[in-house]
Structure 1
Amino acid sequence: MTHTSTDQPARRPSGAIVPVLAFAGIVVAVMQTLLVPVIKDLPQLLSTEPSNATWVLTSTLLSGAVATPIMGRLGDLFGKRRMLITSLSIMVVGALVSALTSDLLTMIAGRTLQGFAMGAIPLGIGLMRDMLPREKLGSAMALMSSSIGVGGGLALPLAALVAQHADWHALFYGAAGLGVLAIVLTLLVVPESPMRAEGTFDVLGAIGLSAGLVLFLLPITKGSDWGWTSGTTLGLFAAAAVVLLLWGVMELRVKAPLVDLRTTARPAVLFTNLASIMVGVSFYVVSLVLPQLLQLPKATGYGLGQSMVTAGLLVAPLGLTMMFTAPVYARLSAKYGPKVTLILGMLIIGIGYGAGLGLMSAAWQSLVIAVVLGAGIGLAYSSLPALIVGAVPASETGAANGLNTLMRSIGTSVSSAVIGMVLANTANHVGGVAIPTMHGFRVSFMIATGAVAVGLLMALFLPKPNRAPQLNFSSEEEANLERAEEVLRAFRGRVLGADGSPVARAKVTLIDRRGRQAGATLSSEDGSYVIAVPSEGAYVLAARAVGHGPLASSASHAGDEVAVDLDLSLPGETVSA
């Protein structure tokens, strides 16, 4: 797969594009955090059993996991801005559906639609890569990637305030209003990216991945209710393994797959995604533990006795610190590279959880933990999209970042299931009510520390960059570099007609030995063309133009940084009798 530019002129991006896209990411985080203050009250609010009420949260998780890679691929094919607006629009519809009902099934349907907003994060990162100069890209992607934490940190106290003093349905009206504002700002400020991936949408691949993810995530989120060794749980895990294996085999054989598994298997992509799972685990543990510790009554002997709103305010610095680390990350990454910043972030997270084991006796200590963990998670989250963007072609940015966001979601899902099980199994039961214990909180922090250690190991396995970080270039230097790179490791020449005259705007397509498109370009007014070669090997250059017959010419490239000259002479157009 490769990328091409659309023929339509694009608006020049303004300086407001980064805050607008980051705001869209914050809106997504608000949607995710919306119901945290009322989780324990959902069975009463929806007149249902606790095990049924959890579907309100599970449905959003499942739809978000499915939608994230699919919306990323659709953005690569049909326009990232278009798919961003589509994702936010579906979220708004879902929020309004939930705002107007207290029926369980209707609420689940609304929350399922809201999960589609998760695609906004990779789409926003893809738009930034396509339109921003390199010197601004690092901090912009860092802010976009950290917007999940920022939105969650800001939403928690605000949602708690609304839940305490108004009808809980107002939470959904607020989310819908924010979604509409994000759509309007995107329409006004963000231009459509001219970059498009070649190929078609892999419908079977989307169905297969969706089925595999649902079969995998469903028992993770419901295993504690069904029993981890029950036939239903084990059967779904087995079915997920079979479906995902068959899906992988199919994706390797498709010319334009939903997820290019060959690219995903590159060490730079593979180890980044594995580290992302661990970062997701570490982020969610603190989000689960601190609010409960702060709100437990002091009569327990370890609870800190804070109100819902106060607890939200004390945890809010977790997200705010993530936002403030974005410019710090940009400077560190420009000097040392995103691999180093990821390792540094993981080390800070480990220090935060290690210190947290002894800092649980006062509210101010929770604030310190939130700040330290926010700094580490912010650095780690900011590094992930930069590592992915640096390892995949521009045509795969949306799908690759969608998959990376999915890995983080899987991490938070696993974290939620494991920590929920730990807290339940270590709880004290008083009057039929399960009360988490300090032992359970400390075990949860130890699990997070272990996840950080595994993530740090994955980060150490990341390959060393072959060249200096790209973010050091200015816009002018970037343009000069791209012009220079065009004539290296490429085929170049002129497209000529049957009479030897140059042919302008002829489409030249590069096809690799597997029959897949590896590049495409249009000849200039003097008939000249340059088309980059991804690697050494045998290729076919296909050329066609209006008024001329098509041409297919075989050629080989040694893979070194030398352009191979090849003129393409189109035959005269064949006229049928």
Structure 2
Amino acid sequence: MMESDIKISPAIFLLIAGAVSLISSLGAPLIPAISVFYSIPPEKAQWSLSVTLMSATIFTPILASISSSGNFKKVISISLFLTTIGCFLCSFCNIFSVFLVGRFLQGIGMAVVPSLMTAARYLTNDVKKTVSLLSITTAVGIGLGYPFSGLLTSMFGMHLTFFFGGCMVILSLFLSFNLKDIKNDRMYKFDIVGSFAMSFTIIIFLLLCDQIKSKLNLFNISILFLLLLCSMFFWYHLSKNNSNSIINISVLKNTSVYTANIIVMLSGMIMYVLISASMYRIQQVVSPGLNLSPLVAGAALTPLSVFTIVSRYINLNNLSDKSRLLLGSLGLIVSMVLLGVSNTVFSTVFSLGICGYAIGIIYGSAPHIISSGVEDQQLHEAFGLNQISRSIGYSIGSVVTMNILSTFYSIHGSPSVTSYLLISLIGLICSIFLSLIIILSFNKIMNNINTGG
């Protein structure tokens, strides 16, 4: 790919990334408000978050693949246009199914950040600084977006919040017109069938997770499980011999890769267990809820983003990867214990802050584990699959948490103390399991790195 002679101001990239990051934070604090507005149970309302995460998971590798051909302006502008439509659909519709379509389109905006980073490599002068700032801007945007969306919802209601989000994306869409496409020296062929196989696998997997309820439908579970096995088998063999594969799932055969993917998926799931349960309990009207506003719920999430950023600078690099991962898993254990034993705003904020730092430590260690045990030509595919694993973990945590909260209702028709204790116990078990995976697998990882296997 040839570099562009015309360089673009880094401010354009940062403003676009900030806008889509703010939009991505509209989901978690608003689930209770969505449940009330559409008169639906919380396990259905949570799909307003899960469908956005699912969309982002699917479109991140797709947009990254297309933009690698040099079509930066087209990819980013069209993505932002679709995100704008999604925001306005959510702001005007009174039908939940249409609302979900809008939320799905908003997930495309979340997926555009890696494409922005790729474009910055060719369209800016100070590449390293711009890409680094993009990463920080994304985290800051999400951190600011939580209280901001809570404030807007408290003052103007849910629909106007999405309307304002649409206006912000329109501004970023106009900014994207300053970008440009550049010439690619190599032949490019988009993996359409592979993209379909990946999307189908992810959707079936999340639908299977949604079946974890008080009354298990064994027929539905069996059908979805068989479909999942078939789609994974098809995706694996499709990508195995395809040099243009969207994501080469066969890299999971590498010990470092599959272990790192299990670690980030589990930790991402635990994080969204905490987020989903905390957001609902803060706004739940009756005990054990705190009966507080969406503004408080959004503000409570800010420490999670702040301490994720802090982990980039206080990253304990003097420790080994194993020690840092174990420290991160310990932080997740503490946050889950706090979720179960206390239901004050302070303890919630404290647990989310600990979780944010723990996640930052874990996610910061995963790329090194992967790159240490994978050949250079497979790094792109391994990192792409790792990003998908994170997002799948987020979606699993969201779906399972709201299903369990809805299972154990109190006499008031809201999640009971038992619901939150069970959620805390599940998160705690997963955190301990994560620690065991790190302890038991790390020797094997190091052997794999040393032998190059």
Determine if the TM-score, normalized by the shorter chain, exceeds 0.5. Answer: yes
Q: Give the Cα–Cα distance (whole angstroms) in 2 for the partners of residues 356 and 125 of structure 1.
A: 36
Q: Give the Cα–Cα distance (whole angstroms) in 2 for the partners of residues 88 and 352 of structure 1.
A: 35
Q: Which amino acid is 1:216 matched to?
A: F
Q: Which amino acid is 2:303 matched to?
A: P
Distance apart, 1:24 and its partner CA: 5.1
Structure label with greater radius of gyration: 1
Report the counterpart of residue 154 of structure 1 in structure 2.
Answer: 144
Identify the range of structure 1 (385-394 vs 194-203) with the bigger mean alpha-carbon deviation.
385-394
- Number of positions where the alignment pairs a residue of Structure 1 with one of Structure 2: 447
Structure-2 change in CA distance of 1:113 and 1:311 (3 Å): closer
Report the counterpart of residue 264 of structure 2 in structure 1.
Answer: 276
Report the counterpart of residue 65 of structure 2 in structure 1.
Answer: 73
Structure-2 change in CA distance of 1:95 and 1:402 (3 Å): farther
The counterpart of 2:192, out of the listed 197, 203, 210, is: 203
Q: Give the Cα–Cα distance (whole angstroms) in 1 for the partners of residues 445 and 182 of structure 2.
A: 30
Given that 2:19 and 2:172 are in contact with CA atoms closer than 8 Å, whether structure 1 keeps it comes out as yes
Report the counterpart of residue 413 of structure 1 in structure 2.
Answer: 395
Deviations 1:348-379 (A, max 9, x none): 33344345554x15332222222222222223
Structure-2 change in CA distance of 1:101 and 1:40 (3 Å): closer
The counterpart of 1:325, out of the listed 294, 297, 311, is: 311
TM-score (norm 2): 0.81
Q: Give the Cα–Cα distance (whole angstroms) in 2 for the partners of residues 460 and 185 of structure 1.
A: 49
Distance apart, 1:62 and its partner CA: 3.6
Q: Give the Cα–Cα distance (whole angstroms) in 1 for the partners of residues 353 and 234 of structure 2.
A: 44
Q: Which amino acid is 1:203 matched to?
A: I
Query: Which segments of 5 or more consecutive residues in structure 2 lack a partner in the other structure?
Result: none
Report the counterpart of residue 306 of structure 1 in structure 2.
Answer: 292
Report the counterpart of residue 476 of structure 1 in structure 2.
Answer: none
Given that 1:76 and 1:196 are in contact with CA atoms closer than 8 Å, whether structure 2 keeps it comes out as no
TM-score (norm 1): 0.66
**For residues 422-433 of structure 1, what are the structure 2 equivalents within 5 Å?**
422-425=404-407, 427-433=408-414
Report the counterpart of residue 362 of structure 2 in structure 1.
Answer: 380
Q: Give the Cα–Cα distance (whole angstroms) in 1 for the partners of residues 126 and 325 of structure 2.
A: 22
Task: State whether structure 2 residue 218 is matched by structure 1 residue 230.
Answer: yes
The counterpart of 2:156, out of the listed 161, 166, 182, is: 166
Structure-2 change in CA distance of 1:14 and 1:348 (3 Å): farther
Q: Give the Cα–Cα distance (whole angstroms) in 1 for the partners of residues 414 and 145 of structure 2.
A: 28
The counterpart of 2:301, out of the listed 290, 294, 315, is: 315
Task: State whether structure 2 residue 393 is matched by structure 1 residue 403.
Answer: no
Report the counterpart of residue 143 of structure 1 in structure 2.
Answer: 136
Given that 1:280 and 1:412 are in contact with CA atoms closer than 8 Å, whether structure 2 keeps it comes out as yes
**Secondary structure of residue in 2 paired with 1:117:** helix
Structure with the bigger RCO (C-alpha within 8 Å, sep 6+) is 2
The counterpart of 1:182, out of the listed 155, 172, 178, is: 172
Structure richer in strand, relative to its length: 1
Task: State whether structure 2 residue 17 is matched by structure 1 residue 29.
Answer: no
Given that 2:283 and 2:289 are in contact with CA atoms closer than 8 Å, whether structure 1 keeps it comes out as yes
Structure-2 change in CA distance of 1:429 and 1:249 (3 Å): same
Report the counterpart of residue 477 of structure 1 in structure 2.
Answer: none
Structure-2 change in CA distance of 1:462 and 1:11 (3 Å): farther
RMSD over aligned Cα atoms:
4.0
Q: Give the Cα–Cα distance (whole angstroms) in 1 for the partners of residues 378 and 185 of structure 2.
A: 6
Structure-2 change in CA distance of 1:379 and 1:138 (3 Å): farther
Given that 2:54 and 2:395 are in contact with CA atoms closer than 8 Å, whether structure 1 keeps it comes out as no
Distance apart, 1:249 and its partner CA: 1.0
Distance apart, 1:421 and its partner CA: 3.9
Give % identity. Answer: 21
Q: Give the Cα–Cα distance (whole angstroms) in 2 for the partners of residues 222 and 281 of structure 1.
A: 16
Given that 1:343 and 1:460 are in contact with CA atoms closer than 8 Å, whether structure 2 keeps it comes out as no
Structure-2 change in CA distance of 1:433 and 1:25 (3 Å): closer
Q: Which amino acid is 1:213 matched to?
A: I
Given that 2:210 and 2:400 are in contact with CA atoms closer than 8 Å, whether structure 1 keeps it comes out as no
Deviations 1:153-184 (A, max 9, x none): 43333323322332421122122123233344
Q: Which amino acid is 1:156 matched to?
A: Y
Q: Give the Cα–Cα distance (whole angstroms) in 1 for the partners of residues 73 and 323 of structure 2.
A: 31
Task: State whether structure 2 residue 336 is matched by structure 1 residue 353.
Answer: yes
Distance apart, 1:91 and its partner CA: 1.0
Q: Give the Cα–Cα distance (whole angstroms) in 2 for the partners of residues 42 and 408 of structure 1.
A: 30
Given that 2:329 and 2:431 are in contact with CA atoms closer than 8 Å, whether structure 1 keeps it comes out as no
Q: Give the Cα–Cα distance (whole angstroms) in 2 for the partners of residues 153 and 249 of structure 1.
A: 40
Report the counterpart of residue 257 of structure 1 in structure 2.
Answer: 245
